[in-house]
Amino acid sequence: MTAIAPWMQRLGMLHPIIQAPMAGTSTPELAAAVSHAGGLGSLGLGAHSVEQAHADILRTRELTQAPFNVNLFCHRNAHADPERDAAWLEYLAPEFARFGARPPRRLENIYPSAVGNGPLQGMILQLRPAVVSFHFGLPEQPFIDALRRAGCLTMACATSLDEALHIEQAGIDVVIAQGMEAGGHRGVFEPEHDQFMGTLGLVQLLVRHTQLPVVAAGGIMDGTGIAAALQLGACGVQMGTAFVLCPESAASPAYRATLQSPRSMHTQLTSAISGRPARGLSSRLHTLGQRYGQALPDYPRAYDAAKALHRVASASDCHDYAPFWAGQGAPLARALPAAELMHTLCQELYAAQKNSAR
């Protein structure tokens, strides 16, 4: 009963489901399983070196001949502010001391942006993945144009109509409407201008005011949610939290256990973990961020501190500082193999559409 959009047909997709490119959680095995099941699997390459990204793309191609998506971070370059960095590290020092450790002496830009990144862009153009998507903004126009000439379909995340119009003007093929319900980092271009729109309202705005195919993202966990997004005019959905518990994901045992505990009922947005707003299961870092009265280090410099703190804490089997990203639908997550989850989602979708047609 579900009409497949032309761009999905071009990719050979059978179902309007995209597995979100969750950096640190998505894997070649997960992406391949979703694509093989008729959806679109994704690799989150934002935290990878060029060499790691290259290896993951080749590994995914070994596992499936189906198209898949590779996602790039396009954040603005971090501003190194020694005083701001030092103040945040000093604030976190008592947390490190709980585990007999000291904070790092300085913070680093641990995740390079794809913007102006010649080696990364060159590798992507050499391998020509079927789909390339962007988060936190867009790369330079010449790179976008080169991807189109190479035959790559392009997608980009928008959290507002203004961002979607910018994406459309740049010649991107598909816009992902990310509502504030979504887990992980918000794709907002400029965090200080975030409008915090919900998924349903954002989808309707973009469907009405752009010519691009719209993919809904945020809080969608089952076939009924997919059907609702399609009813509002989206051509498909992007789902992240729903796939975290799949055995093919890289989620740690602690992440999986927490996502299946009562804590899954409580998610919050915070910039205290990475320096950019992101939604995850409430943790001690969320609380520390709320109490901090100064400007945080830029993304991803703040993330360097959070990762160091998580490392020393987890060595003592404490996961109070873990970045367990999850959307507001987290309690609905199911621990199923990716292929089985895809089959279940499709059954639920078609049942929901059949019921609504009565």
Question: Tell me: the pLDDT tens digits for 247-260?
Answer: 999 999 999 999 99
Question: Taking all residues of the chain, what is their mean pLDDT, rounded to a whole number?
Answer: 97
How many residues in total does the chain contain? Answer: 358
- The mean per-residue pLDDT over the stretch 208-216 comes to 98
pLDDT value of position 2 = 76
According to the model, what pLDDT value does residue 1 have?
Answer: 59
Q: What is the pLDDT of residue 204?
A: 98
pLDDT tens digits along 315-349: 999 999 999 999 999 999 999 999 999 999 999 99
Q: Encode pLDDT of 176-204 as tens digits.
A: 999 999 999 999 999 999 999 999 999 99
Tell me what pLDDT residue 4 has: 95
Q: Tokens standing for 31?
A: 């992406």
Element (H, E) at 13: none
Q: Which of 330, 345, 136 is nearest to 251 (CA)?
A: 330
pLDDT at 357: 77
Among 204, 234, 232, which Cα is nearest to 4's?
234
Q: What is the pLDDT of residues 146-173, one digit of tens each?
A: 999 999 999 999 999 999 999 999 999 9
Residue 215 confidence (pLDDT): 98
- Band (pLDDT 50/70/90 cuts) for residue 28 is very high
pLDDT, residue 3, reads 83
For 148-164, the three-class secondary structure string (H helix, E strand, C coil) is HHCCCEEEEEECCHHHH
pLDDT at residue 356, rounded to an integer: 82
Q: For residue 111, is pLDDT > 80?
A: yes
State both tokens at 227: 């059907």
Q: What whole-number percentage of the chain has pLDDT above 70?
A: 100
Tokens 């989850």 sit on residue: 341
Res 144 pLDDT > 90: yes
Domains of the chain plus CATH, in order, are 6-75+111-245+330-350 (3.20.20.70)
**Averaged pLDDT for residues 193-217:** 98
Which residues, in sequence order, are CB contacts of 215 under 8 Å at separation 6+?
18, 155, 174, 175, 176, 177, 234, 235, 236, 237, 238
Tokens 């409430």 sit on residue:
282
3-state SS of 29-61 is: HHHHHHHHCCCECEEECCCCCHHHHHHHHHHHH
What's the pLDDT at 77? 87
For residue 270, name the pLDDT band (cuts at 50, 70, 90). Answer: very high
The confidence score (pLDDT) of residue 121 equals 98
pLDDT at position 339 is 98
